[in-house]
Amino acid sequence: MERELERSLADVPFGELQRARADGSLIARGFNSAAAAAQKKTRRASKKSPMEISTKVPPPRFREVIQVPKKVVRDPRFETIYGPVDQEGFRKRYSFLFDNELPAEKEKLLKTIKRSKDPNAIEEMKNRITWIDKQLRSHPKKTIESEILHEHIKKEREAAKTGKQPYYLKKCSFLNPMSFSLSLCVYIKF
């Protein structure tokens, strides 16, 4: 160790060494034997073992923290950039829920209510059953309304082909679906 240091300092003139020792620039060049010993100590026995760091050297004041960009999760059902919701397509795609899944779940819940003794669980199951009933009651109304609307649009297209002026529905009929379906029923009969 010291022999290496002597070899490296052999080429440097004696006067320059004395001046360097006096103002401390020898340490800055890396000729300090303590610094060389510390460098050798930092080597690890194996690359899997942790790095040894002296406790006498203070850690840096500010750690460099790398900012990772936050992932923005977007649900296409609620984003306006994906366009309006196609309710007719939704009903067609998920009709199996209203035809098979919800009635089966309702039957299953009724059986578990009879067996259950926990009042909190029974209350939750009853709430779920009322929600299922509400869904099942509203589904046929919506399908009937959409059928009436499609029938109206079909008739208007045929009338437009023959040269008749088409009747466009007003926005208020879409806002109030019950009056809309009733007015269409009356309109189609006449």
Tokens of 144: 């009937």
Query: Side chain identity at 46, as an amino acid letter?
Result: S
- Mind listing the pLDDT tens digit for each residue in 131-168? 999 988 877 777 777 777 778 888 888 888 888 887 77
Span of 5-9, 47-51, 125-129, 153-157 with lowest mean pLDDT: 5-9
**Residue 71, CA distances (Å) to 41, 88, 125, 135, 144 in order:** 42, 32, 36, 35, 42
pLDDT tens profile 90-130: 778 888 888 889 999 999 999 999 999 999 999 999 999 99
Sign of the torsion angle spanned by Cα atoms 172, 176, 179, 182: positive
* Whole-number pLDDT of residue 83: 81
Neighbours of 181 (CB within 10 A): 19
Q: What percent of the chain has pLDDT over 90?
A: 16
What would the mean pLDDT of 29-56 be, rounded to a whole number? 65
pLDDT tier for residue 77 given thresholds of 50, 70 and 90: confident
| pLDDT score recorded for residue 189 | 44
C-alpha span between 70 and 52 (Å, rounded):
34
Residue 121 or 73, more confident: 121
Q: What is the pLDDT of residues 167-187, one digit of tens each?
A: 777 655 554 555 555 554 444
Whether the per-residue pLDDT at 190 is higher than 50: the answer is: no
Residue 126: Cβ within 10 Å count = 13
Which alpha helices (H) appear in the chain, and where do they start and end?
Answer: 2-10, 14-23, 25-29, 33-41, 87-93, 95-96, 102-115, 119-162, 171-175, 177-189
